[in-house]
Structures are given as structure tokens and as C-alpha cells.
Amino acid sequence: MVGESGSGKSTLARAILRLEDADSGAAFWKGQDLLAMSPAALLGVRRQIQMVFQDPTQSLNPRMSVYQLISEGWDIHRLMPDRSERQVRVRQLLEQVGLSPEHASRYPHQFSGGQRQRIAIARALALEPELIICDEAVSALDVSIRAQVIALLDDLRERLGISFLFIAHDTGVVRDFADTVIVMKAGEIVERGPTEQIFSAPSHPYTQRLLAAALDPDPDVQAQRRLLATAQA
Amino acid sequence: MSDLSTAIPPAPTKSRVTPLLAMLWRDKLAFVSAIVLVIIVLFALLGPALLSDLATSQNLRGRNSPPFDLAQGWAFVSGGDSLGRPMLARLIVAARSTMLVAAGTVLAAMVVGAVLGLLAGYLGKHVSQAIMRSADVIMSFPSLLIAVIVLYVLGPSIPNMIPVLAITRIPIYLRTTRAEVLEVRQRMFVQAAVVMGASNGRIILRHILPVVAPTLVTIATLDFAFVMLAESSLSFPGIGIQPPDITRGLMVSRGRPYLTTAWWLAFWPGLLIVITTLSLNLLSNWMRVALDPSQRWRLEARSTKDE
């Protein structure tokens, strides 16, 4: 899902997860409307849909160790009562996201931004979800770390078969990662379709402008494009 | 002190108490404060049993006798009061009522205020409005008036004084807690807990309370001194602590008329109030650091820093 800042991408994600109340409409998950669900039914769905937030510094409770952070979901959903089993699983999860198992007893402030986001991903994976919503999950990270985290997510998607709802304003990231793209503007979906189609033949003028606004890695091409754009205007 | 320093060095064992003691040892001010508080608590526990006869025995030759004069016996080392009772014994005996009233009031006000504040901050608008408006009612009511009414009806005693004093302090904790909760609940890690399906109780206790608690403890320690003095204002209309019971606040207010002639009547209890408050404050400051994982390294041994 792409769109400019303020286009309502995050709000849509938050509405799906019932962090914000939707005024109207419906969001269907396996045939059930998430927005009209009873608290008890919602608790079940909370296991299946997890979220990775934009800023891992804020989304991890600074007073909880990595072990506590990752195992909190099991406490909430009364899973895995056995402590040793939990410890093994936390270690596995940490390895899965590319951290070392010894990190379990540390606290979030002892990690770098990219590592923290890995912890957040491990936390999301702990409940074995079917869908992970990534709200700008990589935009707070610097470029090299961003590539690593995206590679990690890609790997998880292939190995574990998890679906991702990936929210970004960076069209390049989306192009690499997504199968289907939704373009949003001012709270509306203006275009949706398979990634190649959106990127090669965008039909909506906003999508065309959005793609044109993305910087090209080649400065010469970029200069050419800028000339073209000013000529058109 | 030498045996203490050998008993406490950082021996990282499995138990939870030892690292805590080691952290306390590392902050010398907090360590001294803890010792002072232990002594005061001992005074409060044992003082009345051992010294209450001495504290009430009058020796009219020792009326307002100056401190550091051993002519009247060791008990008069910090002077005698206006009825010739030894100040030292009275100060020690007063520890019990003082601490009982102050600790009881502060704890009651803090717990009630925090619980209501958490609810007001986290639950919906209606609950919040109901709680906050009742707090406004309490705040607009002259606290001395409540005290006079309640204590005339129920009779002046420590168990009656605690709730009366506590009620007037609740709004402070309530408002602080609510204001902090409103901010903390918007933080991402609380939202992350919501997404995972955490219940309201879990979010409040595990994610919000630990952030709010240090502020509350700091206010509570400052409030301690206020309550010790406020309690003495109740004895002005005659509904405070009744003789022969004594508190430090009462001693300060009784000593005030003699300030120009016998300063020690108000000075010693005042000094003890300051020391107690200061110790509590230093200890709470240490606690705030010790309980915060991102600050704890300041108190941990330098050798473990590069683990």
C-alpha cells in the first residue's frame, strides 16, 4: 500500500486493527467483519494478525527485556505455559530474525534501530500470525539496514507463508516487495492492481505523478525526468 | 561500616536481593538514607515500649533546659521541653505516631489516587468525567472543615485522622496519574499491546503503571513532610493527636511560641522531619534509577558494564 504522507495509509491499518474506530464500512477477515466483531472474537483474530510499527524505539516497552517482550503474546493468549519451552522458542525466534539467542535477557535500549525492529518482528512472529501489518516498518531505518530488514521479511514470507500488508511511502521498496499494490490519496484508494501493472502502466494520474516523484538512482536519468516534468507543467 | 562494605560487594548471585543491595551500596547517599530510615523505623517500633515513661515524666527543674547540657541526665542531651520532659526521649517516642499518620496518609492517598487516576485516564470519557469532577469537589472543599466535622463526630484518633488527611491529598495523585496516563496510553508500545490483544488490566498494570509509578513515588516522598506538618494543624482546634501521644508536627507547633527563648523545642523535631523527608527522597531517586532498565547501568558495577 503506497501513498503520500497524510493519505490515510496508517489510519486504514489502524482501523483494521481497531486501534481507531471507523465511521463506516467493513473489513473482512476470513468472511467476518473485523469492525463489527465482539471483543471475544476479536481476541482470537488478534492472534492471527500482528503489526510491526514504524518506530521500534517507541513500539517496544523500554522496561521489558527482550524475552518478556517476545513472550508477552503467549501470556495474553495463554499459550505455552511451560517456561523452558518458551525460552527455547524465544531463542529460535531471535535466530530467525537474525539476532543472537543471548540477546533475550537484554533491554531494547541496548540495541540499534535495525536490531530493535528485528525484535519487533520476532514479537510479531511469536504468535504465528497469518497476516503481519507493517506500518512504515522500514522507513525509520537507514538505507543499508532497510535492505536487510526487507530481505528478512521477504525470507519470512517465503518460508513461513505469512501474508504482509506493507505500508510505505517509498515506491521503490514496494516495487521490490509487493505482489499487489494499493495506491491511496486523501483517504481514498485510487488504484489497485498487480505490482508490474501499477508500476509499468499506471492508469490513475495520481499514481503516475507518485511514480514520477520517486527519485531515479541514476542522476542523469533523474535530471532528464525533472526537465520533462517541468516542461509538461 | 567496615563489615558492611565487605558483606555487600557485588557478588552476582542468582538471588534478586543481592544485586539490589549492591546497587544500593553503589549510591552512597541512598545507602545512608536507607540506614537512616531503618533507624527511624526502629525508633517507631521500639521507642514507645522502651521510653514512653521517660518521655512523659516531668522534671520542672529541666523546663526548657538547653541542649548539650548533661546536668539533668543523658535524656536531656537535646534539651527539655516546656514541661521539663526530655526532648530526646520525646523525639524517639514521637516517631511512632508521626510515621503512622504520615505513612498511612501518604500510602492511602497514593493508592486511591493512583487507582482512580489510572481508571480516569484509561477508561472512557464518562468515567473520567465522574472521577475528575468529584476530585474538583474535594479540592474546592476546605480541608480543615472536613477534618473538623469528621473528627468531632468520630473522635480524634490516628485511625480516624488518616482517612481525613488522605482525602485532602488524593486529588494531587489523581490528577498527576491521569495526566500521565493520557500521555502514556498514546505511546506505541501500549498500542502494540492492544494489537496483541492485551486486556485493559494487563495494559494498565504492565505497561502504564511502571511508567507512572516513579512520578507518584516522588510526589509521595515530598508529601510526607507536608502531611507531618498538616497533621499538627489539626491540633489547633483540638482534634489532632491527643496527649500523651506526640508527633513531630505537634512538637514543632508547640515549640513555636518559644522560638526566641528555647529554639530547640521546634528545631529538633523540625530537623527530624527534614532528615526523614530527605532520606525518603534520596531513596526514591535511587529506586527510580534502579528500576529503570535503561538507567540501571549507572548503579551497576563498572566491571559488568562491558559484558
CB spacing of B196 vs A73 below 8 angstroms: yes
What pLDDT is stored for residue B3 in this prediction?
43
Q: Which residue has the higher pLDDT, B136 or A199?
A: B136
Least confident among A7-11, B161-165, B222-226: A7-11
- CA A19 to the chain's CA centroid: 16
For residue A70, the one-letter residue type is I
Between CA B84 and CA B193 the distance in angstroms is: 64
pLDDT band at B110, cuts 50/70/90?
A: very high
pLDDT at position A200 over 80: no
Cis peptide before A108 (omega within 30 of 0): no
**N-terminal to C-terminal alpha carbon distance within chain A:** 27
Which residues partner with B249 through β-bridges? none
Between CA A202 and CA A193 the distance in angstroms is: 9
CB spacing of A50 vs B294 below 8 angstroms: no
Q: Residue B188: list chain A partners with CB under 8 A.
A: 53, 55, 58-59
Distance (Å) from the alpha carbon of A211 to chain B's nearest alpha carbon: 30
Q: Report whether B144 contacts B238 (CB < 8 A).
A: no
What pLDDT is stored for residue A232 in this prediction?
67
CB spacing of B189 vs A58 below 8 angstroms: yes
Pick from A50, A55, A61: CB nearest B195: A50
Output phi, psi for A4, to 5 deg.
-75, 170
Pick from B189, B202, B292: CB nearest A76: B202
Residue of chain B with shortest Cα separation from A108: B294
CB spacing of A72 vs B196 below 8 angstroms: yes
Please enumerate residues of B whose Cβ is less than 8 A from a Cβ of A. 187-189, 191-199, 202, 206-207, 210-211, 292-294
Q: Classify each residue of B178-207 as buried b or exposed e, where b means 16 or more C-beta atoms within 10 Å of its C-beta.
A: bebbeebbebbbbbbbbbbbbeeeebbebb
Pick from B196, B202, B211: CB nearest A46: B196
Distance (Å) of CA B60 to CA A39, B64, B81, B92: 75, 9, 10, 21
CB spacing of B196 vs A107 below 8 angstroms: no
Checking DSSP bridges between strand A180-185 and strand A188-194, what pairing results, if any?
A: antiparallel
Sheet containing A180-185: give its strands across.
A2-3, A180-185, A188-194
Length of chain A equals: 233
What pLDDT is stored for residue B307 in this prediction?
38
Residue of chain B with shortest Cα separation from A107: B293
Strands (E), A65-209: 131-135, 163-167, 180-185, 188-194
When mean pLDDT is compared over A94-98, A203-207, B176-180, B296-300, the highest value belongs to B176-180
Nearest alpha-carbon partner for A5 in A166, A180, A135, A185: A185
Q: Residue B193: list chain A partners with CB under 8 A.
A: 61, 72
Distance (Å) from the alpha carbon of B276 to chain A's nearest alpha carbon: 30
Instruction: Give A4-50 pLDDT, tens digit per residue.
Output: 776 777 788 778 777 777 777 777 777 777 777 777 778 878 888 88
For residue A125, the one-letter residue type is L
Residue of chain B with shortest Cα separation from A120: B192
pLDDT at position A211 over 50: yes
| Cell numbers at A2, concatenated | 503506497
- Percent of chain B whose predicted confidence (pLDDT) is above 70: 90
Q: Residue B16: list chain A partners with CB under 8 A.
A: none
Q: Report whether B111 contacts B163 (CB < 8 A).
A: no
For residue A75, the one-letter residue type is D
CB spacing of B294 vs A62 below 8 angstroms: yes
Distance (Å) from the alpha carbon of B133 to chain A's nearest alpha carbon: 27
CATH topology for B23-304 is MetI-like fold (1.10.3720)
Nearest alpha-carbon partner for B262 in B63, B58, B60, B64: B64
Please list, in sequence order, all residues whose beta carbon lies within 8 angstroms of the beta carbon of residue A156, skipping any fewer than 6 positions away: A96, A121, A125, A162
CB spacing of A61 vs B202 below 8 angstroms: no
CB spacing of B196 vs A55 below 8 angstroms: no
Q: Report whether B307 contacts A103 (CB < 8 A).
A: no
- Percent of chain A whose predicted confidence (pLDDT) is above 90: 0
> DSSP assignment, residue A193?
E
pLDDT at position B123 over 80: yes
Which residues partner with A133 through β-bridges? A51, A165
Nearest alpha-carbon partner for B216 in B138, B290, B109, B124: B109
Any idea which residue has 473489513 for its cell? A27
User: How many residue pairs from chains A and B have C-beta atoms closer than 8 A?
Assistant: 63
- Percent of chain A whose predicted confidence (pLDDT) is above 70: 97
Q: Report whether B90 contacts B78 (CB < 8 A).
A: no
Q: Residue B211: list chain A partners with CB under 8 A.
A: 63
Task: Answer positive or negative: Cα dihedral of B190, B193, B198, B202.
Answer: negative
Q: SS3 letters for B179-246?
A: HHHHHHCCCHHHHHHHHHCCCHHHHHHHHHHHHHHHHHHHHHHHHHHHHHHHHHHCCCCCCCCCCCCC
Q: Residue B198: list chain A partners with CB under 8 A.
A: 72, 76
Q: Residue A42: list chain B partners with CB under 8 A.
A: 197
CB spacing of B189 vs A47 below 8 angstroms: no
- Percent of chain B whose predicted confidence (pLDDT) is above 90: 5
Q: Residue B203: list chain A partners with CB under 8 A.
A: none
Output phi, psi for A133, to 5 deg.
-95, 120
Between CA B179 and CA B140 the distance in angstroms is: 20
CB spacing of A72 vs B194 below 8 angstroms: no
Every domain of chain B and the residues it spans: 23-304
CATH topology for A2-201 is Rossmann fold (3.40.50)
> DSSP assignment, residue A78?
T
What pLDDT is stored for residue B107 in this prediction?
92
Pick from A50, A76, A109: CB nearest B294: A109
Between CA A120 and CA A139 the distance in angstroms is: 14
Helix (H, G, I), strand (E, B) or coil at A101: helix
pLDDT band at B292, cuts 50/70/90?
A: confident
pLDDT at position B52 over 60: yes
Please list, in sequence order, all residues whose beta carbon lies within 8 angstroms of the beta carbon of residue B2, skipping any fewer than 6 positions away: none
pTM: 0.76
Over residues B296-301, mean pLDDT:
71
Between CA A172 and CA A156 the distance in angstroms is: 20
- For an interface test with B, the pick among A47, A61, A71 (most B C-beta atoms closer than 10 Å) comes out as A61
Angle (nearest 5°) at CA B127 between B121 and B129:
85
Distance (Å) from the alpha carbon of A129 to chain B's nearest alpha carbon: 10
Q: Report whether B97 contacts B246 (CB < 8 A).
A: yes
Distance (Å) from the alpha carbon of B264 to chain A's nearest alpha carbon: 47
pLDDT at position B112 over 90: yes
Helix (H, G, I), strand (E, B) or coil at B257: helix
